[in-house]
Amino acid sequence: MKKLFILVSAAILFAACYAEESKARYEKLAAEDAVKEEAKKAELLKELNPSGIWTVGNFNDRFGNKTEDKFIICQVNGTFSNSATKNSPLKVYLIYTKGSGLGIELYEYAGNNPEKILDFDKMTIYVQDKDKNQYTFEGNIQGQRNYFKNTKSAKIENILSAGGTVKFRIDIESRRGSIDSSYAFDIIDARGFDVALTELK
């Protein structure tokens, strides 16, 4: 009787171990299938929308007619802080042209009018690429739309063309030397900028 009890106990223990192992194997296969499915979806999305979040448009002349001059644009969201507020909503338009490079328009409180930065202020743009390499650029202040210095235009092109998550942090420093405003926004997936660039050539 004792021997029978031991055999039954061993059988139950074996069945429990086998069930646990089968469950772990099933969960592993399910996870692998999920990863493969996500990869397939990403590839399909890339085929359907090769330029990703980037849209290519044409400038209009004074009569509203489309010209041959093109631009690339995308809109992202972020936050901004200054002496009056902290981490308030921010809307950002990134606009690229072959002549001027990448322009940035900042809409505080996600409003409809871009923030105008005074030309005697100093703009410092910090960028982190998809591999978490960090860069510091000097902004070329032009009022409502501000650019990277022309000498750095090629570098920001390469960062965006590499895709992935690209993070931006901008500090506006007054002539007194204090940081008046700070802006933070991320491009979660910059994929497709290189594709959009080819349409400008």
pLDDT recorded at residue 106: 95
Low-confidence winner among 35-44, 92-101, 105-114 (lowest mean pLDDT): 35-44
Predicted pLDDT of residue 96: 93
pTM of the model: 0.74
For 52, half-sphere exposure in the C-beta direction (CA atoms, 13 angstrom radius) is 23
Q: Kindly state the average pLDDT of the residues 72-98.
A: 95
What ranges do the domains of the chain cover? 1-48, 55-198
**More confident of the two residues 155 and 35:** 155
**Ordered alpha helix ranges (H), the chain:** 2-48, 153-161, 193-198
Percent of the chain with pLDDT over 70: 74
pLDDT value of position 5 = 46
* Average pLDDT along the chain: 82
Give the separation between CA 161 and CA 155, rounded to whole angstroms.
Answer: 10
What are the residues whose beta carbons fall under 8 Å from the beta carbon of 185, sequence distance 6 or more? 76, 77, 78, 79, 90, 92, 167, 168
Q: Give kind and range of the element (H or E) at residue 123.
A: strand 122-128
Q: Please enumerate in sequence order all residues whose Cβ is within 8 A of that of 183, keeping only pairs 6 or more positions apart, or say none.
A: 78, 79, 80, 90, 92, 106, 168, 169, 170, 172
CA dihedral 39, 42, 46, 47 (to 10 degrees): 70
Q: How many CB atoms lie within 10 A of CB 52?
A: 19
Give kind and range of the element (H or E) at residue 169.
Answer: strand 166-173
